[in-house]
Amino acid sequence: MSVKRPPSPALIPNPFIKKRNLEWTITPPHAELPTVPSPPINPSASASASSTNRSPPTTAAIESGSAEIDNHLAHFTTHLASHILPSSLPPALSISSYASLYTAAAGNAHGAHFVIHQHDHPIAGTHYDLRLQINETSSASWAIMYGLPGDPNSIRLNRNATETRVHCLWNHLIETASSATGSLLIWDAGTYTILPRKSKHAPSSDPSSPATSPHSSPERRPAAAPLSSTQQDLLHAAFQNRKIRIRLHGSRLPDPYVLNLRLTKFEDAAGRAKGVGTPRTRRRRARKSEPQSQPETSDDEGDDEAVGDNAEDVPSGTDAPAHGEDLSAMEREIRELEDEHVRRTNAYPGAENTIGSVHQRRWYLSLDRRACGFVQSRKKGCSRWKLDQGPGSDSHNGDMPTSSTRNCTDHTDVDRGRLQFPFYVRGTDHERSAVTGRRGVDIFENEGVKNFTPRKGWTPVLE
C-alpha cells in the first residue's frame, strides 16, 4: 500500500499571475500642497477674446441671414474696396459714390435708391434683379431673365418682369457668391424718378427733351407733383395703379433711360391666386411651344392686350434653403416659422412689404423709346427708331446699327464707362460689376467657391 505524500513546506504560485506583476509595490499618497485660488473670470473679457479669435462672417452668410452684422455699409465698403480689379478704366461707380448713394437713401423717407443685380442662380438660372426702394428700410424686386432692353429696334423689345420677395435695403450693397445661391454682382446702381403717365389725349412733347431733363422748357414739362409726395409715394401710387413709368439715373445705363412697367388685370388676378395657394415642392417640366412674338405695348393700350412669353419667366427657386447643414429640432422649427412668415408677407426678415408686392406676379417691361430720345422714321415701308440729334447733327443723324453690326460691341462712353444705345446684356461670361469690375467667375474665386454648377441654356438677346 502506497504511502501518502507529506505536505509541501512552500506555497504553490498562482499560474494565472504573471511573474513581472509579482514585483508590484504600494506607495502611500503624497501630502497635499496648499492651492492658490485662481483669479475670477471676466465674462466681457472672455467674450471679446473669443470674438477676436473668430473670423468675420462671410458675405454669403450675411446675405442668407445666417449671420448678422451691425454696419452693413462699412462691412461691404471695405470688402468691395479690397476686391476691385486693376484695369485701365476705373469702374463706373466708385466706392465713395457707392457709399454716398446708400447713405443718402438708408433710413430716409425721401430715398429713391435702385440697384440691378446680376444673379447666376443654380436653380433659377441667370437673371437680373431690379430692386426699387419702397420705404426707409426695404425694396421691391423684379426678376428679369434677359436683363434690361437696350436696342430700340430689337424684335424682342419687351421683357417679363416677375415680382420676387421684398428685400432689406442693405441687400443693395451686396456682391457675393456661394455654391447654394450662385453669384451676385452689382450691374448698376443709382436713383430713380417716377414719371407721370402719358395720356393719348395730351399734346405730343419734344422727344429730345425728356420729362425730367433739366434742359426741358417750362411749358413742355409735366405738372409738378405736390411737394409732400416723395418718390416712394409716387412709386406706391403707380404700383397700385399697375402702371409704372420710371427713369433710372444709373452710373452705367444711358442717360436718359426710361422704362414702362405694366401689370394686366389677368396677371394681377393670377398672381394673387397663386400667392394664396400652398407652395409647390415639385417642379413641372414646361412643354415646348412655338415661339410667339411679343407685341409692342404702350400706355395707350388696354390692360388685357399685353401678351407675355412664358419662356422668359424666371423659375421660382431662389427661396430654397441656402444651406443643407444638419439642424436641431428647435432650429428647424424656427426656420420653418420664418419661412412661413416670409411666404405670408412676401418679405424677408427685417424688410416690410408696404407696397403690397405679390410673389411671382408677372409684369411687362418695355423701353420708353420716345422718352429715351428716339424718333420713329419710315423708309421703304420699314419702321426704324433713331436718336433725334436735333439741328446741327452729324451725317449719321443718329442711325442705329443694323443686324449685321449689332453683334459686335456695345456703344460705351469711354470716359465714364456709361453705355450708349444700342447696348446688349450678354450674361455672366461678359458682364462686369459697376463697382469692382469683377465678373461672376471672379466673385466665385474671391469667395472660395469651387463646386458651383450653373444652370445651362441662357442666351443673350442680340436681335
- pLDDT tens for each residue of 211-237: 444 444 333 344 445 557 899 999 999
> How many angstroms separate the CA atoms of 106 and 349, rounded?
17
> Can you give the pLDDT at residue 90?
82
> Can you give the pLDDT at residue 202?
52
Cell of residue 12, nine digits: 504553490
Cell of residue 314, nine digits: 424666371
> How many angstroms separate the CA atoms of 262 and 266, rounded?
12
Sequence-distant (≥ 6) Cβ neighbours of residue 186 within 8 angstroms: 93, 98, 115, 116, 117, 174, 175, 433, 434, 435, 436
Higher pLDDT, 279 or 89: 89
Range in 34-48, 65-79, 246-260, 293-307 with the lowest mean pLDDT: 293-307
Cell of residue 372, nine digits: 429715351
pLDDT tens, position by position, 331-350: 666 666 778 999 999 999 99
With 90 as the cut, is the pLDDT of residue 405 above it? Answer: no
DSSP assignment of 323-380 equals ------HHHHHHHHHHHHHHHHHTB-TT----S---TTPEEEEEE-TTTTTEEEEEET
Cell of residue 39, nine digits: 483669479
Identity of the residue numbered 230: T
Domain ranges of the chain: 59-199+227-275+328-372+401-446
Q: What is the DSSP letter of 46?
A: H
> Can you give the pLDDT at residue 393?
45
Cell of residue 44, nine digits: 466681457
Cα-based distances in Å from 391 to 95, 208, 398, 436: 39, 11, 12, 39
Contact 170, 73 (CB under 8 A): yes
Higher pLDDT, 271 or 186: 186
Q: What value does the mean pLDDT take over residues 303-314?
A: 57
> How many angstroms separate the CA atoms of 138 and 151, rounded?
31
The three-point CA angle 309-310-311 to 5° equals 90
Cα-based distances in Å from 423 to 211, 345, 463: 23, 37, 11
> Can you give the pLDDT at residue 55?
77
Nearest of 303, 341, 308, 331 to residue 144 by alpha carbon: 308
pLDDT tens, position by position, 422-434: 999 999 999 999 9
Q: What value does the mean pLDDT take over residues 105-130?
A: 96
- In the structure, what pLDDT confidence band is assigned to residue 207 with cuts at 50, 70 and 90? very low
| CA dihedral over 282, 168, 253, 357, signed as positive or negative | positive
Cell of residue 254, nine digits: 444711358
pLDDT tens, position by position, 50-85: 545 567 889 999 988 888 999 999 999 999 999 999
Backbone angles phi, psi at 289, to 5 degrees: -135, 160
> How many angstroms separate the CA atoms of 34 and 189, rounded?
69
pLDDT tens, position by position, 1-52: 666 766 666 666 676 677 776 676 667 766 666 666 666 656 555 555 554 5
With 60 as the cut, is the pLDDT of residue 397 above it? Answer: no
Higher pLDDT, 234 or 317: 234
Question: Average pLDDT, whole number, for the chain?
Answer: 79
Nearest of 314, 268, 310 to residue 144 by alpha carbon: 314
Length reported for the chain: 463
Nearest of 159, 186, 206 to residue 79 by alpha carbon: 186
Higher pLDDT, 461 or 313: 461
> How many angstroms separate the CA atoms of 247 and 259, rounded?
6
Cα-based distances in Å from 429 to 126, 177, 334: 11, 15, 38
Cα-based distances in Å from 26 to 18, 22, 23, 238: 17, 12, 10, 93
Nearest of 372, 373, 401, 371 to residue 388 by alpha carbon: 373
> How many angstroms separate the CA atoms of 130 and 125, rounded?
16
pLDDT tens, position by position, 413-459: 544 679 999 999 999 999 999 999 999 999 999 999 999 999 998 99
Contact 138, 170 (CB under 8 A): no
